[in-house]
Amino acid sequence: MTYNSDLSFEQGPIRPPNEAGSLLLRITRNCPWNQCLFCPVYKKKKFSIRTVEEIKKDIQAARDITDDIKALSWKLGESGFASNPVIAHIINSNYGHSYKSVAIWLYYGTGVCFLQDADNFIMKTGDLIEILLFLREKFPELKRITTYSRSRTISRKSLSELKEIKEAGLDRVHIGMESGYDPVLKFMNKGVTAERHIDAGRKIISAGMSLSEYVMPGLGGAAMWREHAIETAKVLSRINPDFIRIRSLRVPDSALLHQKLVNGEFKTLNDDQVIEEIKLLIENLDDTVTSTVTSDHIMNLLEEVKGKLPEKKDAMLNIIKKYQALPEEERIIYRIGRRGGVFSSLDDLKNDKSTYNKISALALELSTKGQDEIEAFINKMANSYV
């Protein structure tokens, strides 16, 4: 098979953690709002809506690349599957990024397509529907199509429009709620209110689409953490999304919020304080909430805090209490291990003694320089994932 270097399609910079195995297609470029203080993505980049013709061309290119890879698989004796030999051949040969991206998607076999960038509902409804129908036509094997959007944009669509978008093939929407507390939303320049979040979330569910709401523990800082947790729980309880996705705050230098950190207008929480905030959030979710909670991001300290509500509520709270009951020395060891990417569970503290002993020695060395040195070391590791 000869590699067709003319075949390629555009992709954006980010996607949700759970879309790691999805086919990524760029529908809009960057973010139309782009003013949130905590977000380092898209800054100094101009927003634009790609034309329907551009997007269709990309979809066709992705289809052609998919067919090329399947043909290559047959040639290599792999019966059309994106097996290890096929992936190795593409990665180690002179194939472009688009080929490698599709190959990885086929390898994972998710059957999911994620539409980038930050807010695709800002497109004209007719244009978005045309794109979805074309995508479904070219990829009839797709099990799910998902996208990011903003509550403010969704709330401007009528329910009938959203139902048409669902009918055309969009299955799931990811919304960055971040907070349900208006003073936090205003301080962070989110450009939306708690009521707008509720309206948008309910509309998506009423239209028949699956809804993921992202919440950001730590966003209230030291001044508003309690209200942030309680009011966010109230908003989530009124929406009852399919998924509540926890993504704890980190403040890299590239975020506008960093300047407020430097001048003292905002004070971050440490890991232990964020864990207490997450506990308060979960405790305040109504018992009628049936969402699935996930902590599917490396920025979250306790990845184990996950499960279907209401039945797993106590189990999630018990994991938090288990962490909080650890001696301070062990909490520090776990924090270093988690931020270093070697721990994913509290059980790793006892199951991986070799790593435990190495981190313990490191923690002891850092402690001779004071608690601030430990915090600085942990924060540096955590911020590397942003």
Give the pLDDT of residue 2.
Answer: 55
**Residue 296: inside a domain, yes or no?**
yes
**Residue 6: inside a domain, yes or no?**
no
Share of the chain above pLDDT 90, in %: 89
Report pLDDT digits (tens) over 44-66: 899 999 999 999 999 999 999 99
Give the pLDDT of residue 337.
Answer: 94
What does the alpha-carbon distance between residue 336 and residue 331 come to, in Å, rounded to a whole number?
9
**Residue 381: inside a domain, yes or no?**
yes
Last residue of a domain, one of 309, 327, 345: 327
Rounded to 10°, the helix 84-92/52-75 angle is 120
**Residue 11: inside a domain, yes or no?**
no
**Residue 8: inside a domain, yes or no?**
no
Stated pTM of the model:
0.94
Residues 203 and 348 grouped into a single domain: no
Domains of the chain: total: 2
pLDDT band at 368 (very low <50, low <70, confident <90, very high): confident
**Residue 2: inside a domain, yes or no?**
no
Report pLDDT digits (tens) over 87-99: 999 999 989 999 9
Give the CA dihedral 378, 382, 383, 385, nearest 10 degrees. Answer: 150
Residues 174 and 318 grouped into a single domain: yes
Section 33-54 average pLDDT? 96
Residues 226 and 132 grouped into a single domain: yes
Report pLDDT digits (tens) over 345-357: 999 999 989 999 9
Last residue of a domain, one of 306, 327, 348: 327
Residues 314 and 215 grouped into a single domain: yes
Share of the chain above pLDDT 70, in %: 99
Residues 148 and 282 grouped into a single domain: yes
Residues 341 and 322 grouped into a single domain: no
Give the pLDDT of residue 369.
Answer: 85
Residues 321 and 350 grouped into a single domain: no
Residues 268 and 164 grouped into a single domain: yes
Give the pLDDT of residue 367.
Answer: 86
Residues 316 and 384 grouped into a single domain: no
**Residue 12: inside a domain, yes or no?**
no
Report pLDDT digits (tens) over 312-346: 999 999 999 999 999 999 999 999 999 999 999 99
Q: What's the domain range around 376?
A: 328-386
Which of 227, 194, 16 lies closest to 202, judged by CA? Answer: 194
17 DSSP assignment: G
Report pLDDT digits (tens) over 177-191: 999 999 999 999 999
Are the C-beta atoms of residues 28 and 47 closer than 8 Å to each other?
A: yes
| Residue spans of beta strands (DSSP E) within the chain | 23-26, 28-29, 48-49, 112-116, 144-149, 172-178, 210-215, 243-246, 292-294, 307-308
**Residue 383: inside a domain, yes or no?**
yes
- In this model, does residue 70 exceed pLDDT 60? yes
Give the pLDDT of residue 318.
Answer: 98
Residue listed under structure tokens 């929407």 = 173
**What's the whole-number average pLDDT of the chain?**
95
What does the alpha-carbon distance between residue 260 and residue 57 come to, in Å, rounded to a whole number?
43
Section 348-377 average pLDDT? 90
Q: CATH number for the domain including 293?
A: 3.20.20.70
Give the pLDDT of residue 5.
Answer: 65
Q: What are phi and psi of 290, to 5 degrees?
A: -115, 20
Residues 236 and 220 grouped into a single domain: yes
pLDDT band at 12 (very low <50, low <70, confident <90, very high): very high
Give the pLDDT of residue 383.
Answer: 82
Report pLDDT digits (tens) over 269-319: 999 999 999 999 999 999 999 999 999 888 899 999 999 999 999 999 999
Last residue of a domain, one of 327, 358, 375: 327
Among the ranges given (220-224, 287-291, 363-367), the one the predictor scored with the smallest mean pLDDT: 363-367
Residues 225 and 360 grouped into a single domain: no
Residues 343 and 311 grouped into a single domain: no
